[in-house]
Amino acid sequence: MTRVLSLRIAWRFLRSSPGQSALIACGIAVGIATQIFVGSIIISLQANLLNTTIGSSPQVTIQAIKESDPVRFTPKMKDLVYNDPRVKPGSVAPVRSVPALFSNGTDSSTLGLIGGELKDLDGIYKISDKTIEGKASLGNGEIMVGKEFSQKFNIHAGDSVALALQGGQSGTFTVTGVFDLGSSQFNARQAFVSGKVPQSVLGWANDQYQAIDVQLIKPYDSKAVAASWSSQLPGVSVVEWQSQNASLLAGLTAQSASSYMIQGFVLVAVALGIASTLAIAAVQKTRQIGILKAMGLADRPSGRIFLYQAAILGVAGSTLGVIFSFAILALFSLSPAPFSISMDPKFVAVSACIGVVVAMLSSIVPIRRTSKLDPIEVIQNG
């Protein structure tokens, strides 16, 4: 009963000073909007950076201990890799690769031929999605080349290319498509062919590959996945992207840390703002609290008035903050940005909840002041 009364009084107190209440709610809203905006930018930026770096490359690779040796894709290994729930479905690609040399008479370039099934390679490299000319096809005698290679040698879909292969062998391939994987170095130096091409050049058996390339549902699971596979697959080497991209990871960690710091300071500023305004509000309402206490309102329900005020302001401010953040992101997306910003609903919900909790924590000072107030102080002072 007294809870409802405290809430009712809290609501009336807020309504009696609409300007002050709106100011506090706006303060919370700006803080929460800033937190959501900064957080969303950093999360989107990191996701974009991660996708660019490892989105189109293997995150875990199983290979022979001596790199030039083949690794056998045994039934045990298949069972382990295909049935691991951390592996992204359709993102396991057994590949073979051989070096080749292309020459057009005046200029030449080495080309690494990555051989495999198109559907397997798509799982890692997304070649079909990143074909910018012709079509994605890796049948017998077909090759797909990169954008930079295509531009340098003026080779396009439908053209034939003659390549010198390992051991004095050679072959002629029809270009089916040109891809752009986002890395000019990869586009200039790598090409995709059927898995049978490197197999015949290297003279390997059907289950022998250079590497088994794998992508994961959560890229940051790579360390744990590599460790567990290593222990279950003796005689092979399991490498993962994190150990090979230490500086990128350090950069991402530093970026996260700075983002958390900014968000933390914003919340502290919001908390201090609410605490000081609520403390002033408590002073302004000293007379009313004293009268209520004289009528028998106990310390606890008296203090709850300001807790409820803070909660109401927190909910209103956080809701407004979420709306503000949508508006800011909508404005931001109007300007050309190198990456798209998306808001994670979970992050938005957590931020809004943090706003309410911070507001409620900020009411500690007025709650303590109100609880301690002796009605006689008000009655004696008129």
Partner 1 sequence: MADASNCDFGTLLVADRLDKVYGEGDAATHALKEMSFTFCEGEFAAIIGQSGSGKSTLLNLLGLLDTPTGGSAIYHGTDTTKISKLERATLRAQLIGFVFQFHYLLPEFSVFENVAMPAMIAGTMPADEIQARATETLSMLGIEGMGKKNANSLSGGQKQRVAIARALMNKPSIVLADEPTGNLDTVNTNLVYDLFREINKETHTAFLIVTHDRSIAERTDRILEITDGVLVQDVATRDMVG
Candidate ranges 182-190, 195-203, 257-265, 288-296; the one touching partner 1 (CB under 8 A): 288-296
- The answer to whether residue 287 forms part of the interface with partner 1 (CB under 8 A) is yes
What would the two tokens of residue 303 be? 């203090």
3-class SS of residue 236: strand
Three-state DSSP at 95 gives strand
Stretch that binds partner 1, among 124-132, 179-187, 292-300, 313-321 (CB under 8 A): 292-300
Q: What would the x/- binding string for partner 1 be over residues 353 to 382, using CB under 8 A?
A: ----------------------xx--xx-x
Q: Does residue 22 touch partner 1 according to CB under 8 A?
A: no
Is 264 within 8 Å of 331 (Cβ atoms)?
A: no
State which residue, 337 or 376, has the beta carbon closest to partner 1. Answer: 376
Tokens representing 203 are 């003279």
For CA atoms 224, 227, 232, 233, the dihedral sign is positive
Q: How far is the CB of 19 from partner 1 (least distance, A)?
A: 15
Distance CA 243, CA 222 (A): 9
Binding-site member from 67, 69, 129, 299 for partner 1 (CB under 8 A): 299
Q: Are strands 208-209 and 142-146 parallel, antiparallel or unpaired?
A: unpaired
Minimum CB–partner distance for residue 309 and partner 1 (Å): 12
DSSP letter string over 145-190? EEHHHHHHHT--TT-EEEEEEGGG-EEEEEEEEEE--S-HHHHHHE
218 versus 300: smaller Cβ distance to partner 1: 300
Least distance between partner 1 and beta carbon 24 (Å): 17
Query: Considering beta carbons, is residue 10 or 95 the nearer one to partner 1?
Result: 10
Question: Could you say whether residue 69 binds partner 1 (CB under 8 A)?
Answer: no
C-alpha of 238 from chain center: 25
Q: For residues 190 and 302, which CB has a smaller minimum distance to partner 1 in the complex?
A: 302
Q: How far is the CB of 17 from partner 1 (least distance, A)?
A: 9
Contact with partner 1 (CB under 8 A) among 57, 128, 208, 288:
288
| Residues 342, 302: Cα–Cα separation, whole Å | 43
CA atoms of 62 and 213, how far apart (whole Å): 7
By CB under 8 A, tell whether 5 contacts partner 1. yes
Least distance to partner 1, CB of residue 364, Å: 20
Among 18, 235, 296, 345, binds partner 1 (CB under 8 A): 296
Could you tell me which stretch among 6-14, 192-200, 248-256, 350-358 binds partner 1 (CB under 8 A)?
Answer: 6-14
Distance of closest approach, residue 326 Cβ to partner 1, in angstroms: 34
| CA nearest neighbour of 47 among 344, 269, 367 | 344
Cβ-proximal residues to 154 (8 Å cutoff; 6+ apart), any chain? none
1, 65, 330, 331: residue in contact with partner 1 (rule CB under 8 A) = 1
DSSP string, 8-33: HHHHHHHHHSHHHHHHHHHHHHHHHH
74 binds partner 1 (CB under 8 A): no
Among 241, 251, 244, 248, residue whose Cα is nearest residue 220: 241
> Shortest gap between Cβ of 367 and partner 1 (angstroms)?
16
Closest CA to 89 of 217, 240, 238, 220: 217
Does residue 298 bind partner 1 (CB under 8 A)?
A: yes
**Residues at the interface with partner 1 (CB under 8 A):** 1-2, 5, 9, 12-13, 15-16, 287-288, 291-300, 375-376, 379-380, 382
